[in-house]
Amino acid sequence: MLEKLKDWFKGYFTNHRIRDWKENITGYLMIAPSVILIFLFGIMPVGFALYVSVHKWRLKQGRFLGVDNYLNAIGNVTFVVMFFMALGAIVAAYLIIKKIIPEIKENGFKAWLMSIPGFLYFATIALFLRYIWFQLPEFLGIADKLIGQEKTQELFSRLMKESFEVPVVSAAWSYFLWTLIIAILVNIAFNYFFKNTENGKFISKFMLFWTALITGIALIYFTFQEVFRVYEEAMETGTDPGVWPQVITITSGVILLALGWNTWKGANKNTSNLQFFLRLIGATSLLIGAWIMIGEIPIVIASGDKDLWNGLKVTVFFSLGTVPFQLSISMFLAVLLFQKLKGSEFFRMVFFLPYVTPFIASAAIFRQIFANRDTALINLLLRSLGMEPQAWLQESKGIFSILTESMNFSIPDWATGPSLALTVIIIHSVWTYVGYNTVIYLAGLGNISTDVKEAAEIDGANKWEVFRFVTFPLLSPTTFFLSLIGIIGTFKAFATLWVFRESLALGTANTFSVAIFIEFFEKLRYGYASALAFVLFGIILILTYVNNKVQGSRVFYG
């Protein structure tokens, strides 16, 4: 027996294998520092923020709140989102199982048998998360216990040990550990009994399946529980929270939207005119129906947090005001610079200058130029053109209402546009980023082969036509990239907006990020601020997805 083992060892650890292992270990060791840092300050915080966001947390951890923070922020949309996430998880589980079962049958195994180790691994993960759930507050408590005491290694390790020995925690840990051991043993047994190279793949797929399925079911259960809780609370005050109608309306709105989008896309493929029109009409009516139902979302969100709703509006204005101008100006400049005239290097450097300037300094300059004084640079310019000086950064009125007021007619509230204060910030943002976008457009122009352009010119196209039908479409990947970066950037923007913040602008320039930071930094509501941050994250994800869908299909990669 021992001889056999020795032989196996010798056979296994050939020089080749040893070298491979050395190589692998070198690889892991080299990425270890960055993996640890990125996990600690980049990945773990997401889970931690989720944990914070379901608690009452002002400076210190308070009681568990469930989804209350989210309900305060975006109202009943919370339930819709949870419901959709649950549905998504269950659909994902279904798709996985649909794909995996035929493959298993091909190999002649029983599917339910193969799902056992997958389930055990899922259980391990779930139990580990449960352990973290109990352990985290104990860990966090250590820091408080250390206040006022001398920090010694002994004291710290004693407190660590104590935090682990709390009955709930150590029980959770042992559940996790035993399940892990059982899972590994079962896995080994499976590999022994069912010899198959694809076992690992099946097991990991089943693990995903169980995770998706059980998360989905748990989410549905949790959603229902929370909805019933809301109804119970409402019963006492005698109001109708109206969750169910809203959930149903919005859900069917989204389904209609998806259907309409599909019909719309299908309409392009159909050859028969009649069919084309029928489809077009169908798609339009579906989309209109969807729009009416989805229109419920803003109403629901608006009934949530006023600051957040305001921040959302400001951010949308900021994004819409910045990105299109930025892109068109920089594309124009790039095309001009690409003519390679004398001095274009110099111009490129000058256009890039605002981007390298520290934001805070350039914001300080803009505050000076757009100050609320008759002698501020911009007001001097306005006066020399015979116009009224404005309050700029301290003006909360919308830009369109100011423009129309000077022409003596008033416009409805919804059409007032971004406030003048926000307009200044938009100008600053465009000024800053035009150079950066120009440089990237220049690189994009450099990638277009001259053959295509020459061919077009030989065919008799003039300069404008060459630009319109050759250069512009071939630049679409760059435009796509820059618009994505621009939209996400405006949603994330913080530093400049914070510098520009003036109390007299009545919060009309407080974007979403600023609203979050105020909750966190000034009001010290960590839990609520975390919930808001997650809402922002969700919006960025949806925007990225929609941008990819809508624009991605039009990008022409040459």
Partner 1 sequence: MAEITKSNQNKNKKAVSYQNMAKLFIYIFLIFGAFISLVPFVYMISTSFKTVGEALGASFFPKSLQYENYVEAWERALFSRYFLNSLKITGISLIGSVTVSILAAYSFARIKFPGRDLIFGIMLSTMMIPAMVTIIPNFLTVTWLGRIMPIQWINNWPALTVPFMGSVFNIFLLRQFFAQIPDELFDAARMDGAGHFRFLMQIVIPLSKAPLMVILVLTFMGSWNSLAWPLLVTSTPDWRPISVGLLNFIGEAGQEFNLIMAGAVISIIPILIIYFFTQKQFTESIARSGLKG
List the interface residues with partner 1, window 451-510 (CB under 8 A): 478, 481-482, 491-492, 494-495, 498-499
C-alpha 389/C-alpha 375 separation (Å) is 9
State which residue, 294 or 380, has the beta carbon closest to partner 1. Answer: 380
State which residue, 165 or 374, has the beta carbon closest to partner 1. Answer: 374
Shortest distance (Å) from residue 49 CB to partner 1 = 5
Amino acid at 159: L
Q: What is the DSSP string of 388-437?
A: ----GGG--SBHHHHHHHHTT----GGG--SBHHHHHHHHHHHHHHHHHH
Instruction: Encode 300-364 in three state secondary structure.
Output: HHHCCCHHHHHHHHHHHHHHHHHHHHHHHHHHHHHHHHCCCCCCHHHHHHHHHHHHHCCHHHHHH
Tokens of 444: 């994009």
336 binds partner 1 (CB under 8 A): yes
129 binds partner 1 (CB under 8 A): no
User: Using CB under 8 A, which of 2, 9, 10, 34 touches partner 1?
Assistant: 34
26 binds partner 1 (CB under 8 A): yes
C-alpha 505/C-alpha 490 separation (Å) is 19
132 binds partner 1 (CB under 8 A): no
146 binds partner 1 (CB under 8 A): yes
User: Using CB under 8 A, which of 6, 14, 19, 30 touches partner 1?
Assistant: 30
Tokens of 342: 């004398």
Measured CA to CA in angstroms, residue 367 lies from 133, 391, 497 at distances of 47, 11, 11
User: Using CB under 8 A, which of 217, 278, 320, 440 touches partner 1?
Assistant: 440
State which residue, 258 or 546, has the beta carbon closest to partner 1. Answer: 546
Shortest distance (Å) from residue 379 CB to partner 1 = 9
Region 89-128 residues binding partner 1, contact defined as CB under 8 A: none
Counted residue by residue, the chain has a size of: 558
Shortest distance (Å) from residue 529 CB to partner 1 = 6
User: Using CB under 8 A, which of 10, 151, 161, 195 touches partner 1?
Assistant: 151
- How many residues sit close enough to partner 1 to count as binding (CB under 8 A)? 100
Amino acid at 492: K
356 binds partner 1 (CB under 8 A): yes
Shortest distance (Å) from residue 100 CB to partner 1 = 20
State which residue, 259 or 439, has the beta carbon closest to partner 1. Answer: 439
Burial class (CB in 10 A: 0-12, 13-18, 19+), 184: middle
C-alpha 78/C-alpha 64 separation (Å) is 17
Q: Which helix (H) or strand (E) holds 60?
A: strand 60-64
3-class secondary structure, 244: helix
User: Using CB under 8 A, which of 361, 387, 542, 546 touches partner 1?
Assistant: 361
User: Using CB under 8 A, which of 15, 339, 410, 553 touches partner 1?
Assistant: 339
State which residue, 292 or 356, has the beta carbon closest to partner 1. Answer: 356
User: Using CB under 8 A, which of 6, 8, 19, 46 touches partner 1?
Assistant: 46
Strand partners, 64: 55
User: Using CB under 8 A, which of 91, 288, 350, 387 touches partner 1?
Assistant: 350
Shortest distance (Å) from residue 198 CB to partner 1 = 17
